[in-house]
Amino acid sequence: MTQLTKIALLFALSLFSSTVNCKFPKGFKFGTSTAAFQVEGAWLQDGKSLSAWDNLAHLPGFTSDGLAPDVGADSYNRYPEDIALMKSAGIKHYRMSIAWTRILPAARDGSPVNAVAVEHYREMLKAFIDAGITPYVTLIHGDLPMLMYLHGYGHADKYFVNDFRYYADVCFQRFGDLVKNWFTFNEPWCIAVFEGCKPEECSTMPYLVAHNVLLAHAAAVKLYRQKYAPSQGGKVGIVLNTDMFYPKDATNAKDKEAAERALAFYLGWFAEPIFSGDYPAVMKTKLGKRLPQFTEEQKAMLKGSADFFALNHYSSVVCEDGRAKEGNNYWNDMNVSMSNRKEWKLTDMGWAIVPEGIHDILVEIYKRYTRATGVPIYVTENGMANKETTREAGINDTPRIEYYQAYLKNVERAANEDGVNVQGYFAWSLLDNFEWGAGFTKRFGLVRVEVGEVPVRIPKKSLIWYRDFIAQNQ
Ligand code: BGC
């Protein structure tokens, strides 16, 4: 029996699984999310060059299981299987990313376009669309070309903005007839904080990286709006990540300030420039000259540079004032101690499961950024790593169903009770995939993937549950 026949059978036999009582607003979009580097494999196929992560993943001992995603889920070649799985579950929205290393193997501004890769993505996008699945495309999700570090300074390079704008231009031009929802970057916070810095540069480097990424985002959005949006009619934004931050002791003013400061240093760092035109006041005061400044022209370009608010959210923490040890760096600058409440259960990543956190962060975002602008919110990632060391445990992923039920109930509550204009939700992830430094040891998928020369996809209970949930909420 082929893999696809097995999948079809499992779906046909599965009973309508019980779901939490929710009623989402009409037209609400339910989808799944992946990223090129985490699912594509095909690391040397069709003229692709290497990303910095290709290099890292091949360093001995760098990933927890010693594996690199050279083949991984092989979605580059096996996307028809992904489409079949999504279709059978009634999932009509798919967030994916394009690999810069495939489109522009030489990476930089003006470098030649790899026609084979362009053709590949066009075929793939068409196949999704033909299956009734709308693509939402992130231009870069964690896989910056290695050449940007060999011939430059990565995201902090003085040419980065031009390089990114050129890459974005190529993508808008080649795929804009098929893609109507674009995201420039995934999680600039992670880019800035995890990019790494020499000890003597850590007091400024994260802020410089963030600044460049924000300017590159704004440049790409301006280009899209001027050159492509009028004829292509698409929308463009950026994906921001944040936890929900609670004061450890809600009656303690210092803890309350700490929670507010954490939100500013995580989300406000990017959301304030994009929705209000400048960095949060608390960061400007704290960092002084170490925080780069925007010119008036740049502020104007940034303000309003997102047609939707795209949020990745997984967990929550409680905050106390104070953490700073010696030296200026991002964490000392924020000066917040974070921990979990004792009663919170943890996922296999060690992240706390706090379903009301997604409600509370959506309400914060609505109040601060989207109520005034009318910009819709999409939850572009949410999900959990479940301990699934055997196939059996993988398929019977009840904790994941409970997580999704509880988090989705809270998204619905934000929409229905608080009037938050949240219009979409993308589960992370469709597939078990390469979880960066954790290799393949952490499983986030609605579909189990057993990696090897020929990766095997097996739908989990959570996929069947999601199918039924979507059906009840359409
Ligand atoms: C990232 C994904 C990652 C997920 C789980 C998100 O922050 O966008 O690439 O796999 O978290 O760690």
Q: 435-469, pLDDT tens digit by residue?
A: 999 999 999 999 999 999 999 999 999 999 999 99
Alpha-carbon span 153 to 173, nearest angstrom: 27
Q: Which of 9-23, 46-60, 93-107 has the lowest mean pLDDT?
A: 9-23
pLDDT at position 1, please?
46
Q: Express as a percent the part of the chain with pLDDT over 90.
A: 93
Name the band, by pLDDT with cuts 50, 70 and 90, for residue 3: low
358-406 pLDDT per residue, tens: 999 999 999 999 999 999 999 999 999 999 999 999 999 999 999 999 9
433 Cβ inside 6 Å of ligand 1: no
Asked whether the predicted pLDDT for residue 422 surpasses 70, the reply is yes
Q: Which residue has the higher pLDDT, 304 or 323?
A: 304
255 Cβ inside 6 Å of ligand 1: no
Q: Tokens 């999601």 sit at which residue?
A: 466
Instruction: Give the contacts of 150 (CB within 8 A, at least 6 positions apart).
Output: none
- Ramachandran area for residue 278 (φ above 0: left; ψ -120 to 50: alpha; else beta): beta
Asked whether the predicted pLDDT for residue 2 surpasses 60, the reply is no
Neighbouring CB atoms inside 10 A of 441's CB total 15
pLDDT at position 18, please?
54
Residue 429, preceding peptide bond in cis (omega within 30° of 0): yes
Alpha-carbon span 213 to 225, nearest angstrom: 18
pLDDT at position 326, please?
81
* Catalytic sites, residue numbers: 187, 381
Closest residue by Cα to atom 10, ligand 1, is 435
Whole-prediction pTM value?
0.97
Residue closest to 38 by CA, chosen among 348, 435, 364:
435
Asked whether the predicted pLDDT for residue 205 surpasses 80, the reply is yes
| Average pLDDT score over residue span 246-250 | 98
Say if strands 336-339 and 316-321 run parallel, antiparallel, or are unpaired.
antiparallel
pLDDT at position 438, please?
98
Instruction: Give the contacts of 61 (CB within 8 A, at least 6 positions apart).
Output: none
Name the band, by pLDDT with cuts 50, 70 and 90, for residue 229: very high
35 Cβ inside 6 Å of ligand 1: yes
Q: Give the Å distance between the CA of 435 and the centre of ligand 1.
A: 7
381 Cβ inside 6 Å of ligand 1: yes
| Average pLDDT score over residue span 105-122 | 98
Asked whether the predicted pLDDT for residue 15 surpasses 80, the reply is no
Mean pLDDT (the chain, rounded): 96
pLDDT at position 8, please?
53
Which regions of 308-385 does DSSP assign to beta strands (E)?
Answer: 309-312, 316-321, 336-339, 377-381
